[in-house]
Amino acid sequence: MKIVVWDIPTRLFHWGLVLACFTAYITSRTERFLELHAVAGYVLFSLIIFRIVWGFAGNKYARFSHFLKGPKEVLSYLSSMVRLKPHRCTGHNPAVGWVVLFMLSVLIAITVTGVVTYSGEENKGFLAGYFSFNAAQYAFILHTFIAYAFIALIVVHVAAAFIHDFVFRENMILAMVTGSKEDSAGFAARSVPAETHVKARFARLAVFLLLCLLGGWMLVSFNLASVLGSKRTSGSHAAVKVKDDKGVPRPFVVNGLWLSECGESCHSVFHPTLLPEVSWKAVMAGLDEHFEDDASLEPEDAEEILKYLISNSAERSTSEASQKILWTLPEGSVPLRITKTPYWLKKHSGIKKDIFKRESVTSPSNCAACHRDADTGIFDDTQIAVPD
């Protein structure tokens, strides 16, 4: 006789989780899909919250109280497993009950570190600006590490499901789709003495696992961006956020004088967040010899511009570019050109010299030629397009 073990919400949770994890994995392969990756993360988090609630409110088999067993039962189940004669369990077996709880906790850790990374590094998400760039770097390392550990857990989980299905004939995978399993009597009638078929079943299992391995390898080498070959064309990005005196992030504001004096009159403006305060002070102190030009300003104009540059310097910016430029500057150095900072040089080392000489580019300092979002100060990966 069939009995309903996995109720509909539990099944929706399970397959929703699979879908969200899969999406999160695929979109993590390239920064271009970071926003989609974040959406997958939020969905994942909501699903986990739901599952925790359902662990108290769901049907008998979905409840934590049903599947979290004491050490005695866990050990006894494990030893039956080692002897290749696992006790038959209708819901989660005593060993896997704890694994379920562990997987949920790991997923919570992944989403929390993800939110901190997204907030601190990209200044996006519902906690945008609350975490520093430094915090985000640590969070990101954890996020990546835990995510890979979780992939390993998934592999074990799927392999275990196959073993239960192919070797012990428990029909577990289909049960997560249809929700129903055989009751104990039905199972006993169908499962002829296990030993006789164990070899054949292990062989079938091996073929299956091999196929999974192949699929997994294809997945790892899969790059969504290159498949779609797409570059996002539009994308109205907000400007970077800059911290005020109290350290509270505020949107970047364009100063009219700065724009007209430093932008329209001579060259395209460089975003103030790309150099540290000391650099802007040095640049503004040497305006009479501003890169071989006399760019002297009225003293009060110079003062206003300097004040503006300082209040928007790299130290105050929360953008990834600013932080990485600062990080990689040798101690005590005062770069006068953005294009001489180690970070800039490293990021552009792969670009051939003649590309910068193209008519559409003319010089490395023409940031906007290749970075559609140069005037926002963000320099997002998705906004790079080197012109012909």
Residues 364 and 355 sit within 8 Å (Cβ to Cβ): no
Smallest separation, CB 324 to ligand HEC (Å): 7
Spatial separation of the C-alpha atoms in residues 77 and 375, rounded to whole Å = 63
Intra-chain end-to-end CA distance of the chain, in Å: 69
Choose between 19 and 282: whose C-beta lies nearer to ligand HEC: 282
Spatial separation of the C-alpha atoms in residues 123 and 297, rounded to whole Å = 35
Smallest separation, CB 233 to ligand HEC (Å): 16
Spatial separation of the C-alpha atoms in residues 322 and 250, rounded to whole Å = 16
Choose between 73 and 381: whose C-beta lies nearer to ligand HEC: 381
What residue type is assigned to position 89 of the chain? C
Whose tokens are 């009950």? That residue is 97
Spatial separation of the C-alpha atoms in residues 181 and 4, rounded to whole Å = 7
Smallest separation, CB 367 to ligand HEC (Å): 3
Spatial separation of the C-alpha atoms in residues 376 and 382, rounded to whole Å = 13
Spatial separation of the C-alpha atoms in residues 16 and 287, rounded to whole Å = 60
What residue type is assigned to position 267 of the chain? H
Residues 48 and 104 sit within 8 Å (Cβ to Cβ): yes
Choose between 174 and 351: whose C-beta lies nearer to ligand HEC: 351
Smallest separation, CB 347 to ligand HEC (Å): 4
Smallest separation, CB 386 to ligand HEC (Å): 5
Sign, Cα dihedral of 196, 200, 204, 209? positive
Number of other residues whose CB lies within 10 A of the CB of residue 290: 16
Choose between 292 and 298: whose C-beta lies nearer to ligand HEC: 292
Smallest separation, CB 366 to ligand HEC (Å): 5
Binding interface with ligand HEC (CB under 6 A): 274, 320-321, 338-339, 344, 347-348, 350-351, 355-356, 361, 364-367, 369-371, 379, 381, 384, 386
Choose between 39 and 355: whose C-beta lies nearer to ligand HEC: 355
Smallest separation, CB 164 to ligand HEC (Å): 45
Choose between 169 and 347: whose C-beta lies nearer to ligand HEC: 347
Choose between 192 and 385: whose C-beta lies nearer to ligand HEC: 385
Smallest separation, CB 374 to ligand HEC (Å): 7
Whose tokens are 């724009």? That residue is 259
Choose between 121 and 170: whose C-beta lies nearer to ligand HEC: 121
Sign, Cα dihedral of 356, 360, 366, 368? negative
